[in-house]
């Protein structure tokens, strides 16, 4: 095993700067999957479970969604919420039981609501309730992608080390080119964030600057 004194952030930027780094690249048509940008995870002044990496994250997500709608491409939002009993969180909800615990994001609670800064078109966009880390797990996302004949999945939201990573692995496993706009994902600690960006970049996805993703979208259609 290789050892180092570098931080996860330093390692990430070293990998990113490698001119020989290969990419999967963009395909012909994409879906935008915005994973759990809900108040439990975005309102840092209100909930202990919330996090912020780039303060413009919601602005960038809105810009991406706008470009997707202009192209007539699918925009998906996911969120998590659970029954009063918490039983639908399964084993994932058994490690702790505090007001901040995952299974205590209840239906119709403030923690389950999407961030107020988001511009969601509730007539045109697709909204999925998910229970587990991956946006593919027991949702209709795969069927939606088949219907729209997309070959590229663009992921935003959080957390980088949790639901973003899980969805990226599932996306690659299903044969999709997977893109993670760096400024559009966040995590609780920069170490987790950058360690997982590195892993995604090396194995499962292309981690791109959001402006490059927006430029690609503007060239389509």
**Contact between residue 155 and residue 164 where contact means Cβ atoms under 8 Å apart:** yes
Q: Tell whether 130 is covered by a domain.
A: yes
pLDDT score for 153: 99
The range of the structural domain enclosing residue 169 comes to 26-218
Tokens representing residue 139 in the block? 């949702």
Which residues lie closer than 8 Å to 80 by C-beta, 6 or more apart?
36, 38, 40, 102, 105, 112, 129, 130, 131
Indicate the number of domains in the chain.
1
Which of 43, 163, 184, 215 is flagged as catalytic?
Answer: 163
Q: Tell whether 15 is covered by a domain.
A: no
Q: Tell whether 4 is covered by a domain.
A: no
**Contact between residue 164 and residue 157 where contact means Cβ atoms under 8 Å apart:** yes
Q: Tell whether 52 is covered by a domain.
A: yes
Short-list 168, 167, 175, CA closest to 202: 168
pLDDT score for 93: 95
Angle at 141 between CA 139 and CA 144, to 5 degrees: 135
Q: Tell whether 7 is covered by a domain.
A: no
Tokens representing residue 79 in the block? 């969120």
- Identify the CATH number of the domain in which residue 45 sits: 3.40.50.850
Which residues lie closer than 8 Å to 134 by C-beta, 6 or more apart?
163, 166, 167, 169, 170
Angle at 10 between CA 5 and CA 11, to 5 degrees: 80
pLDDT score for 135: 98
pLDDT score for 181: 98
In the DSSP assignment, the letter for residue 57 is H
Q: Tell whether 14 is covered by a domain.
A: no
Is 163 part of the annotated catalytic residue set? yes
pLDDT score for 171: 98
pLDDT means per 10 residues, the chain with 221 residues, are 95 94 96 98 97 98 98 98 97 95 97 98 98 98 98 98 98 98 98 98 98 98 77
pLDDT score for 221: 77
Q: Tell whether 214 is covered by a domain.
A: yes
For residue 7, give Cα distances in angstroms to 4, 105, 191. Answer: 8, 33, 7
């Amino acid at each position: 095993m290789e050892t180092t004194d570098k931080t996860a952030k330093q390692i990430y930027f070293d990998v990113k700067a490698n001119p020989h780094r290969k990419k999967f690249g963009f395909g012909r048509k994409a879906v935008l999957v915005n994973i759990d940008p809900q108040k439990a995870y975005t309102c840092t002044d209100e909930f202990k479970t919330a996090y912020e990496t780039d303060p413009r994250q919601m602005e960038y997500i809105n810009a991406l969604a706008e470009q997707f709608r202009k192209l007539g491409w699918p925009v998906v939002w996911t969120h998590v919420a659970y029954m009063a009993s918490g039983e639908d969180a399964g084993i994932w909800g058994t490690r702790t039981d505090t007001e901040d615990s995952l299974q205590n994001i209840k239906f119709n609670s403030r923690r389950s609501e999407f961030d107020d800064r988001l511009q969601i078109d509730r007539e045109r966009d697709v909204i999925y309730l998910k229970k587990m880390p991956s946006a593919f797990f027991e949702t209709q996302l795969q069927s939606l992608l088949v219907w729209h004949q997309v070959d590229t999945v663009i992921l935003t939201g959080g957390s980088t080390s949790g639901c973003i990573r899980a969805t990226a692995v599932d996306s690659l496993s299903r044969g999709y080119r997977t893109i993670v706009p760096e400024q559009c994902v966040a995590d609780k600690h920069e170490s987790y964030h950058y360690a997982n960006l590195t892993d995604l970049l090396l194995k499962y996805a292309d981690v791109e600057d959001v402006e490059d993703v927006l430029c690609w979208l503007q060239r389509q259609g």
